[in-house]
Structure 1
Amino acid sequence: MFRKKNLALLALLALMMPVVTLGQGAAPASEPIAKIIDEGMNRSQVMPTIRYLSDVIGPRLTNSPAQRRANTWTKQQLEKWGMKNAKVDPWGEFGRGWELKRFTASVAVPEGNVPFRAYPKAWSPSTNGPITGDVVYIDATDEAGLAKYKGKLKGNIVFTAPDRNITPGFEPPAVRTSEENLSKMDAAARATPVAQPAPTDA
């Protein structure tokens, strides 16, 4: 009888041991999560990183000098934060890089020059100084449409998109919702019945 009781007790302990082990193993898992939360909430580097990459280095076209500056800066930051063996890995052949140094455009009128908002297409060649010419708009979406302009575009500044009528905007893009409107929205939500799922056979 005594032996049977001992065997039953040992069997019960054997069943409980995995539960105890799992319970003890799960507790430390919250510690690294708590450290990550603390780091993100109290010492986050997200905004300084975005600000430097966006405002100081600026646009980073593929294989451009700005992209290489960003790569070098990122490597240095990782080393500053304690990362080991940080390096910039090559990712393959791409071709020639491109970076915009300076660009201005204006419309020549008898009274002087009127600034014209424009931006060169990436990988456009340099103009080797200022250029002037008549403006020509072409309405073509394929090679057949371009055929009628053959021999008529040389020396001209070509526009490939129609002009857009841009009107000034006086309304703010975002509006703060007033307490009155919030109350109306809440009342409307409460008055709207919530659809209940159809009963199903068990």
Structure 2
Amino acid sequence: MKHLALKSLFAVCMLSSTQLFAQQETVDTAVFSQIRKAELNSSQIPSIAHYLTDVAGPRLTNSPGFMRAATWAVETMKKWGMANAALEPWGEFGKNWEISEFSIAMTAPYMQPVIAYPAPWSPNTNGVQKAQVTVISRAQSMDTTYIAQHLADLKGKIILVDGGAVNTS
């Protein structure tokens, strides 16, 4: 019984102390108003997003697109007065990769384009490639045991990784 009374007293103290702290907080609505006006009238977010996605392009690690975006970000921050803006060294990554040209189409039973992208860091091909297509799930593509077990079945085929249904709404 004594423990129950102590627990109740502790709970009452905790609730009342949080209410006291909450009541002491003052909100500076003028500052919030200034922040909101700056957001609506002079936000740089749309132009930053445009440059990073539409102008610099894909930013795969160590790719030319990554370097375009990173260099632009540093230059832009310096223009804004951030004197210490710089690219930080992060060591060797290995090869870089960027799509220069890619297309894929179904040719049988009739010609139809396919929306697909090559896997990052995949090698070049020697011209047009024609082969049977195998579709695997995203989970299968990440499962090295699955790939090892089916390597003979996958060899020489074009492997499409199912990305799920396209949302058209």
Q: How high is the TM-score relative to the length of structure 2?
A: 0.62
Structure 2, gaps ≥5 residues long: 1-27
SS at match of 1:130: coil
Letter aligned with residue 103 of structure 1 = F
Letter in 2 for 1:77: T
How far 1:30 sits from its partner (Å)?
A: 9.2
Which structure has the larger Rg over C-alpha atoms? 1
Pairing 1:57–2:56 present: yes
Matched length:
138
* Unmatched runs of 5 consecutive residues or more in structure 1: 1-28, 174-202
- CA deviation profile, 1:107-160 (whole Å, cap 9, x unmatched): 12365x32122221111111132111122457976647854x564544322346
Which deviates the most, 151-160 or 66-75?
A: 151-160
Alpha-carbon distance between aligned partners in 2 of 1:110 and 1:48, rounded to the nearest angstrom: 45
Per-residue CA shift, 1:39-83, capped at 9, x if unaligned? 434322111111111121122111111111101101111122222
Q: Secondary structure at the match of 1:158?
A: strand
Q: Map 1:20-35 to 2 at 5 A.
A: none
Partner Cα distance (1:69, 1:55) in 2: 12
Structure 1 Cα separation of the partners of residues 52 and 136 of structure 2: 38
2:92 corresponds to = 93
Distance 1:109-1:30 versus aligned 2 partners, 3 A rule: closer
Q: Which has the higher contact order (CA 8 A, sep 6+)?
A: 2
Distance in 1 between residues matched to 2:117 and 2:76, nearest whole Å: 32
Structure 2 counterpart of 1:135: 133
Residues 41/157 of structure 1: CA separation in 2 closer, same or farther (3 Å cut) = closer
3-state SS in 2 of match to 1:84: coil
Question: What is the aligned partner in structure 1 of residue 120 from structure 2?
Answer: 122
Q: Which one-letter code corresponds to 2:128 in the other structure?
A: P
- Alignment CA distance shift 1:82-1:153 (3 Å): closer
1:103 aligns with 102
Alignment partners' CA distance in 2, 1:168 and 1:38:
35
Listed one character per residue, the Cα deviations across residues 79-124 of structure 1 (whole Å, up to 9, x for unaligned) are 222222422111233222211122111112365x321222211111
Pairwise CA RMSD: 3.6
